[in-house]
Protein backbone atom coordinates (compact mmCIF):
# COMPACT_ATOMS: atom_id res chain seq x y z
CA UNK A 1 0.00 0.00 0.00
CA UNK A 2 1.33 3.43 -0.93
CA UNK A 3 1.85 6.40 1.33
CA UNK A 4 -0.82 8.50 -0.38
CA UNK A 5 -4.31 7.64 0.82
CA UNK A 6 -7.69 8.06 -0.79
CA UNK A 7 -10.26 10.13 1.15
CA UNK A 8 -11.99 6.88 2.13
CA UNK A 9 -8.73 5.61 3.67
CA UNK A 10 -7.88 8.70 5.70
CA UNK A 11 -7.72 7.96 9.41
CA UNK A 12 -10.00 9.97 11.68
CA UNK A 13 -8.34 12.72 13.67
CA UNK A 14 -8.48 11.78 17.34
CA UNK A 15 -7.36 15.09 18.85
CA UNK A 16 -8.62 18.59 18.16
CA UNK A 17 -7.46 22.19 18.33
CA UNK A 18 -10.12 24.56 19.54
CA UNK A 19 -10.61 28.13 20.74
CA UNK A 20 -13.23 29.43 23.17
CA UNK A 21 -13.61 33.18 23.56
CA UNK A 22 -16.05 35.63 25.13
CA UNK A 23 -16.48 38.14 27.93
CA UNK A 24 -14.84 37.69 31.35
CA UNK A 25 -16.84 35.70 33.88
CA UNK A 26 -18.67 33.53 31.34
CA UNK A 27 -17.02 30.30 32.49
CA UNK A 28 -14.71 29.89 29.50
CA UNK A 29 -12.00 28.14 31.49
CA UNK A 30 -14.41 25.77 33.20
CA UNK A 31 -15.88 24.91 29.81
CA UNK A 32 -12.40 24.25 28.38
CA UNK A 33 -11.69 21.91 31.28
CA UNK A 34 -14.74 19.83 30.30
CA UNK A 35 -12.53 18.26 27.62
CA UNK A 36 -11.12 14.77 28.36
CA UNK A 37 -8.34 14.56 30.98
CA UNK A 38 -7.53 18.25 30.78
CA UNK A 39 -4.54 19.99 32.35
CA UNK A 40 -4.64 23.78 32.73
CA UNK A 41 -1.76 26.01 31.62
CA UNK A 42 -2.72 29.06 33.64
CA UNK A 43 -1.02 32.14 32.23
CA UNK A 44 -3.70 34.48 33.62
CA UNK A 45 -3.61 33.58 37.33
CA UNK A 46 -7.21 32.45 36.97
CA UNK A 47 -7.18 28.94 38.44
CA UNK A 48 -8.45 30.20 41.80
CA UNK A 49 -11.51 31.70 40.10
CA UNK A 50 -12.64 28.23 39.01
CA UNK A 51 -15.10 26.44 41.26
CA UNK A 52 -13.08 24.10 43.49
CA UNK A 53 -15.12 21.11 42.33
CA UNK A 54 -13.97 21.69 38.75
CA UNK A 55 -10.33 22.63 39.24
CA UNK A 56 -7.77 20.35 37.64
CA UNK A 57 -4.02 19.80 37.59
CA UNK A 58 -2.42 23.11 36.68
CA UNK A 59 0.80 24.68 35.45
CA UNK A 60 0.96 28.19 36.90
CA UNK A 61 2.86 29.88 34.10
CA UNK A 62 5.51 32.48 34.93
CA UNK A 63 7.51 32.34 31.66
CA UNK A 64 7.09 31.04 28.13
CA UNK A 65 9.92 28.55 28.60
CA UNK A 66 7.78 26.62 31.10
CA UNK A 67 5.07 25.89 28.53
CA UNK A 68 7.04 23.80 25.99
CA UNK A 69 9.09 22.31 28.83
CA UNK A 70 5.93 21.01 30.52
CA UNK A 71 4.75 19.24 27.37
CA UNK A 72 6.72 16.04 28.10
CA UNK A 73 5.34 15.96 31.62
CA UNK A 74 1.83 16.27 30.22
CA UNK A 75 2.37 13.39 27.78
CA UNK A 76 3.99 11.20 30.44
CA UNK A 77 1.21 12.04 32.89
CA UNK A 78 -1.48 10.58 30.66
CA UNK A 79 -3.35 13.82 30.09
CA UNK A 80 -5.31 14.20 26.86
CA UNK A 81 -5.98 17.94 26.65
CA UNK A 82 -4.06 21.14 27.33
CA UNK A 83 -6.18 24.20 28.08
CA UNK A 84 -4.27 27.48 27.75
CA UNK A 85 -5.74 30.39 29.71
CA UNK A 86 -5.53 32.93 28.21
CA UNK A 87 -4.17 33.06 24.67
CA UNK A 88 -3.41 36.75 25.06
CA UNK A 89 -1.35 36.23 28.21
CA UNK A 90 0.51 33.28 26.67
CA UNK A 91 1.37 35.45 23.67
CA UNK A 92 2.57 38.12 26.09
CA UNK A 93 5.01 35.62 27.60
CA UNK A 94 6.29 34.82 24.09
CA UNK A 95 6.90 38.53 23.47
CA UNK A 96 8.83 38.79 26.72
CA UNK A 97 10.87 35.74 25.72
CA UNK A 98 11.69 37.31 22.34
CA UNK A 99 12.81 40.57 23.92
CA UNK A 100 15.06 38.74 26.38
CA UNK A 101 16.66 36.49 23.74
CA UNK A 102 16.87 38.77 20.72
CA UNK A 103 20.50 39.84 21.03
CA UNK A 104 21.77 36.41 22.09
CA UNK A 105 19.96 34.66 19.25
CA UNK A 106 21.02 37.16 16.59
CA UNK A 107 24.73 37.68 17.32
CA UNK A 108 24.31 40.84 19.36
CA UNK A 109 22.06 42.60 16.83
CA UNK A 110 18.51 43.82 17.23
CA UNK A 111 16.54 41.72 14.74
CA UNK A 112 13.30 40.83 16.53
CA UNK A 113 13.07 44.00 18.63
CA UNK A 114 13.82 47.68 18.50
CA UNK A 115 16.14 49.10 21.17
CA UNK A 116 13.06 50.24 23.12
CA UNK A 117 11.82 46.65 23.36
CA UNK A 118 8.99 46.86 20.82
CA UNK A 119 8.77 43.99 18.34
CA UNK A 120 9.90 44.53 14.77
CA UNK A 121 8.08 42.97 11.82
CA UNK A 122 10.50 40.02 12.06
CA UNK A 123 9.76 39.88 15.77
CA UNK A 124 6.06 39.49 15.13
CA UNK A 125 6.89 36.75 12.66
CA UNK A 126 9.06 35.00 15.25
CA UNK A 127 6.25 35.27 17.79
CA UNK A 128 3.89 33.52 15.38
CA UNK A 129 6.49 30.86 14.53
CA UNK A 130 7.13 30.07 18.20
CA UNK A 131 3.46 29.66 19.01
CA UNK A 132 2.64 27.63 15.91
CA UNK A 133 5.61 25.35 16.60
CA UNK A 134 4.22 24.72 20.08
CA UNK A 135 0.74 23.96 18.70
CA UNK A 136 2.28 21.53 16.25
CA UNK A 137 4.21 19.83 19.05
CA UNK A 138 1.00 19.43 21.05
CA UNK A 139 -0.93 17.95 18.14
CA UNK A 140 1.82 15.59 17.02
CA UNK A 141 2.06 14.38 20.63
CA UNK A 142 -1.54 13.17 20.32
CA UNK A 143 -2.94 15.82 22.65
CA UNK A 144 -5.85 18.15 22.10
CA UNK A 145 -5.44 21.85 22.81
CA UNK A 146 -8.07 24.39 23.79
CA UNK A 147 -7.17 28.08 23.69
CA UNK A 148 -9.13 30.42 25.93
CA UNK A 149 -9.37 34.10 25.01
CA UNK A 150 -11.21 37.22 26.05
CA UNK A 151 -13.19 39.02 23.39
CA UNK A 152 -12.36 42.41 21.96
CA UNK A 153 -14.52 44.64 19.84
CA UNK A 154 -13.57 46.03 16.45
CA UNK A 155 -15.59 48.62 14.57
CA UNK A 156 -16.17 47.81 10.90
CA UNK A 157 -18.33 50.24 8.97
CA UNK A 158 -21.42 50.54 11.18
CA UNK A 159 -21.01 47.16 12.86
CA UNK A 160 -19.20 46.15 16.04
CA UNK A 161 -17.41 42.84 15.45
CA UNK A 162 -16.20 40.60 18.29
CA UNK A 163 -12.85 38.88 17.92
CA UNK A 164 -10.61 36.85 20.21
CA UNK A 165 -8.09 39.03 22.04
CA UNK A 166 -4.56 37.75 21.50
CA UNK A 167 -2.61 40.97 21.58
CA UNK A 168 -1.90 43.23 18.64
CA UNK A 169 -1.78 42.95 14.83
CA UNK A 170 -4.38 40.23 14.28
CA UNK A 171 -2.45 37.35 15.83
CA UNK A 172 -5.66 35.48 16.67
CA UNK A 173 -6.95 35.77 13.11
CA UNK A 174 -3.83 34.01 11.88
CA UNK A 175 -4.15 31.26 14.50
CA UNK A 176 -7.77 30.65 13.47
CA UNK A 177 -6.51 29.01 10.27
CA UNK A 178 -4.86 26.17 12.20
CA UNK A 179 -7.80 25.43 14.51
CA UNK A 180 -10.52 22.83 14.06
CA UNK A 181 -13.20 24.66 16.06
CA UNK A 182 -13.77 28.22 17.28
CA UNK A 183 -16.67 28.90 19.65
CA UNK A 184 -18.03 32.15 21.08
CA UNK A 185 -19.54 31.89 24.57
CA UNK A 186 -22.23 34.31 25.70
CA UNK A 187 -25.12 34.60 28.15
CA UNK A 188 -28.88 34.90 27.76
CA UNK A 189 -30.54 35.54 31.11
CA UNK A 190 -29.28 32.85 33.46
CA UNK A 191 -28.23 30.56 30.62
CA UNK A 192 -24.86 30.25 28.97
CA UNK A 193 -24.56 29.43 25.30
CA UNK A 194 -21.75 28.68 22.89
CA UNK A 195 -22.08 29.26 19.17
CA UNK A 196 -19.88 27.93 16.39
CA UNK A 197 -21.70 29.87 13.67
CA UNK A 198 -19.97 32.87 12.11
CA UNK A 199 -22.14 35.94 11.61
CA UNK A 200 -21.76 39.71 11.31
CA UNK A 201 -20.98 40.02 15.03
CA UNK A 202 -18.39 37.35 15.69
CA UNK A 203 -16.13 34.88 13.92
CA UNK A 204 -16.48 31.16 14.64
CA UNK A 205 -15.58 27.86 13.01
CA UNK A 206 -17.36 24.52 13.08
CA UNK A 207 -17.55 21.08 11.55
CA UNK A 208 -20.30 19.87 9.24
CA UNK A 209 -23.19 18.63 11.40
CA UNK A 210 -22.60 20.71 14.51
CA UNK A 211 -25.48 22.83 15.75
CA UNK A 212 -25.04 26.56 15.37
CA UNK A 213 -25.74 27.07 19.06
CA UNK A 214 -25.57 24.94 22.20
CA UNK A 215 -26.90 25.62 25.68
CA UNK A 216 -24.16 24.88 28.18
CA UNK A 217 -25.60 22.87 31.09
CA UNK A 218 -25.41 24.39 34.56
CA UNK A 219 -22.96 22.50 36.75
CA UNK A 220 -23.14 24.73 39.85
CA UNK A 221 -26.16 26.12 41.68
CA UNK A 222 -26.74 29.70 42.86
CA UNK A 223 -24.70 28.97 46.00
CA UNK A 224 -21.71 27.68 44.04
CA UNK A 225 -22.29 24.02 44.86
CA UNK A 226 -21.48 21.51 42.14
CA UNK A 227 -24.64 19.96 40.70
CA UNK A 228 -23.29 18.30 37.56
CA UNK A 229 -20.25 16.81 35.90
CA UNK A 230 -18.01 19.12 33.91
CA UNK A 231 -17.88 17.07 30.69
CA UNK A 232 -19.72 19.09 28.02
CA UNK A 233 -16.89 19.13 25.45
CA UNK A 234 -16.09 15.45 26.07
CA UNK A 235 -19.70 14.24 25.86
CA UNK A 236 -21.25 16.64 23.32
CA UNK A 237 -18.74 18.49 21.14
CA UNK A 238 -16.07 15.84 20.54
CA UNK A 239 -18.50 13.03 19.59
CA UNK A 240 -20.08 15.32 16.98
CA UNK A 241 -16.67 16.12 15.56
CA UNK A 242 -15.70 12.43 15.48
CA UNK A 243 -19.01 11.40 13.92
CA UNK A 244 -18.54 13.95 11.13
CA UNK A 245 -15.17 12.47 10.27
CA UNK A 246 -16.58 8.93 10.26
CA UNK A 247 -19.55 10.03 8.14
CA UNK A 248 -17.21 11.66 5.64
CA UNK A 249 -15.02 8.54 5.47
CA UNK A 250 -18.04 6.29 4.86
CA UNK A 251 -19.38 8.65 2.22
CA UNK A 252 -16.06 8.49 0.38
CA UNK A 253 -16.17 4.70 0.57
CA UNK A 254 -19.62 4.74 -1.03
CA UNK A 255 -18.33 7.22 -3.60
CA UNK A 256 -15.40 4.96 -4.53
CA UNK A 257 -17.78 1.99 -4.94
CA UNK A 258 -20.19 4.03 -7.06
CA UNK A 259 -17.47 5.40 -9.38
CA UNK A 260 -16.00 1.91 -9.80
CA UNK A 261 -19.46 0.55 -10.62
CA UNK A 262 -20.09 3.35 -13.15
CA UNK A 263 -16.79 2.72 -14.91
CA UNK A 264 -17.43 -1.02 -14.99
CA UNK A 265 -20.89 -0.51 -16.50
CA UNK A 266 -19.54 1.92 -19.11
CA UNK A 267 -16.74 -0.47 -20.11
CA UNK A 268 -19.37 -3.21 -20.55
CA UNK A 269 -21.33 -1.15 -23.13
CA UNK A 270 -21.05 -2.85 -26.52
CA UNK A 271 -24.46 -2.36 -28.12
CA UNK A 272 -27.01 0.44 -28.34
CA UNK A 273 -29.20 -1.59 -25.99
CA UNK A 274 -26.36 -1.53 -23.46
CA UNK A 275 -26.03 2.22 -23.91
CA UNK A 276 -29.74 2.85 -23.40
CA UNK A 277 -29.76 0.53 -20.38
CA UNK A 278 -26.98 2.61 -18.84
CA UNK A 279 -29.00 5.78 -19.39
CA UNK A 280 -31.91 4.19 -17.51
CA UNK A 281 -29.56 3.11 -14.72
CA UNK A 282 -28.31 6.68 -14.34
CA UNK A 283 -31.87 8.02 -14.01
CA UNK A 284 -32.41 6.01 -10.86
CA UNK A 285 -28.92 5.99 -9.34
CA UNK A 286 -28.14 8.20 -6.34
CA UNK A 287 -25.11 10.29 -7.16
CA UNK A 288 -22.38 11.27 -4.71
CA UNK A 289 -20.10 14.30 -5.07
CA UNK A 290 -19.01 14.56 -8.75
CA UNK A 291 -19.98 11.01 -9.73
CA UNK A 292 -22.59 12.31 -12.20
CA UNK A 293 -19.92 14.36 -14.00
CA UNK A 294 -17.58 11.35 -14.11
CA UNK A 295 -20.39 9.15 -15.43
CA UNK A 296 -21.19 11.67 -18.15
CA UNK A 297 -17.58 11.96 -19.26
CA UNK A 298 -17.01 8.19 -19.27
CA UNK A 299 -20.28 7.50 -21.12
CA UNK A 300 -19.68 10.19 -23.76
CA UNK A 301 -16.20 8.88 -24.44
CA UNK A 302 -17.51 5.30 -24.78
CA UNK A 303 -20.40 6.30 -27.07
CA UNK A 304 -18.08 8.30 -29.31
CA UNK A 305 -15.69 5.36 -29.54
CA UNK A 306 -18.53 2.99 -30.53
CA UNK A 307 -20.00 5.53 -32.95
CA UNK A 308 -23.47 5.59 -31.37
CA UNK A 309 -25.68 8.65 -31.85
CA UNK A 310 -28.64 9.95 -29.89
CA UNK A 311 -31.89 9.99 -31.86
CA UNK A 312 -33.92 12.94 -30.59
CA UNK A 313 -37.18 11.58 -32.01
CA UNK A 314 -36.83 8.13 -30.46
CA UNK A 315 -35.12 9.61 -27.42
CA UNK A 316 -32.55 6.86 -27.31
CA UNK A 317 -29.16 5.92 -28.71
CA UNK A 318 -28.93 4.25 -32.10
CA UNK A 319 -26.15 2.92 -34.28
CA UNK A 320 -24.62 5.54 -36.56
189 and 115 both lie in a single domain = yes
Comparing 166 with 80, the larger pLDDT belongs to 80
130 and 272 both lie in a single domain = no
Taking the C-alpha atoms of residue 273 and residue 319, their distance in angstroms, rounded to an integer, is 10
pTM above 0.85, yes or no: no
Q: What is the pLDDT at residue 58? A: 96
Taking the C-alpha atoms of residue 28 and residue 71, their distance in angstroms, rounded to an integer, is 22
Q: What is the CATH number of the domain that holds 24?
A: 3.40.50.300
Q: Are strands 213-216 and 191-195 parallel, antiparallel or unpaired?
A: antiparallel
180 and 256 both lie in a single domain = no
Q: What is the pLDDT at residue 207? A: 82
Q: What is the pLDDT at residue 169? A: 57
62 and 132 both lie in a single domain = yes
In a domain, residue 61? The reply is: yes
Residue where a domain stops, chosen among 230, 259, 276: 230
The chain-wide mean pLDDT, for the chain, equals: 90
Residue 1 scores a pLDDT above 70: no
Q: What is the pLDDT at residue 118? A: 92
In a domain, residue 163? The reply is: yes
Across 55-70, average pLDDT = 95
| DSSP string covering 290-313 | THHHHHHHHHHHHHHHHTEEEETT
In a domain, residue 6? The reply is: no
- pLDDT tens digits for range 212-265: 999 999 998 888 888 889 999 999 998 888 888 888 888 888 999 999 999 999
Across 111-117, average pLDDT = 92
Q: Domain containing 160: what range?
A: 14-230
- pLDDT tens digits for range 147-191: 999 988 877 777 777 888 886 656 777 888 889 999 999 999 889
DSSP secondary structure code for residue 235 in this structure: I
114 and 159 both lie in a single domain = yes
Other CB atoms within 10 Å distance of the CB of residue 1 = 5
In a domain, residue 9? The reply is: no
Other CB atoms within 10 Å distance of the CB of residue 287 = 14
50 and 187 both lie in a single domain = yes
In a domain, residue 156? The reply is: yes
Residue 130 scores a pLDDT above 60: yes
Domain count, the chain: 2
Amino acid sequence: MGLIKKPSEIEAKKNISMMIYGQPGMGKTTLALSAPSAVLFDADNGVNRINAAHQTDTLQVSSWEQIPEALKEVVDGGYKTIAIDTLGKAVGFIEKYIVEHDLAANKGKHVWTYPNGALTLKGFGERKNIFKAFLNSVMTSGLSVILIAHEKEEKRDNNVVKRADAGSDGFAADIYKDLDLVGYIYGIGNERHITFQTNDEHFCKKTGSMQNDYTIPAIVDANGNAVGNNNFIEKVILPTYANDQERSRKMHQEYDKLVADIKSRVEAIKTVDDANAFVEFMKGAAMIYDSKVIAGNEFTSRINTLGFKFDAKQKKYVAA
